[in-house]
Amino acid sequence: MSKSERFWDKLSKDYDTKAKDKTFEQILRRTPKYLHSEAVVLDFGCATGLYAFAFADAVKTVYAFDTSTKMILKAKNMAEKNGNHTLIFSQTTLFDDRYKEGSFDIILGFNILLYFKDIENVLARMHRLLKPNGLIITSTACLKEKRTCIGILSGTIIHVLKKIGVLPYLNFLKMGELKTLIIKSGFTIIESEVLIEKPATEYFIVAKKEP
């Protein structure tokens, strides 16, 4: 088991309560206008499936995955309990061969891109998986942006926790850097907005794969 998987497994017990914050509420409000009844959706780093469950009735199918065994177990149990058959949960990665290129209308990537060193490779894979005109809908904490005193302190603590191995890898980005990475990966940005500024800047981006 990887350090990252162990970290997220530990958070799975109380994840739902902590994840339902102001950013979560804004994502729930901003995303539905991009969904449609025939959409096949990939939920990248779905955790316990909060967004997958929230959007399931608006789309055809959601394939949701996470590397955390315990997160996915909670999601599967909830789907079974609710009798929801439009959600397919898997404990895997974005590079699973079962996900075929050109298969998805929308890829959701909430609170996930900052955990990768090779964001370019991740975005390239997302681009390949999408159909022409497909969308990525993301929200990312841009930890390199100017922050409040509380945010700066939080950033210092994050650096320390990373160094001693408590936290998984974190990529500190500015909003402009993230937008540039997305554009260079073959996407056109159609919406971008700061969701919250404290303690760190949470940046919402919707981008389209050009045909």
Extents of the domains making up the chain:
3-209
CATH annotation of 3-209:
3.40.50.150
Which is nearest to 63 in space by CA: 93, 83, 34? Answer: 93
Q: How far apart are CA 87 and CA 66, in angstroms?
A: 13
Which is nearest to 55 in space by CA: 19, 80, 18, 30? Answer: 30
- State if pTM tops 0.85: yes
Q: How far apart are CA 202 and CA 139, in angstroms?
A: 7
Give pLDDT tens digits for 79-115. Answer: 999 888 899 999 999 999 999 999 999 999 999 999 9
Give pLDDT tens digits for 33-66. Answer: 999 999 999 999 999 999 999 999 999 999 999 9
Q: What is the dihedral of CA 182, 47, 134, 27, to 10 degrees?
A: -80
CB atoms within 10 A of CB 7: 16
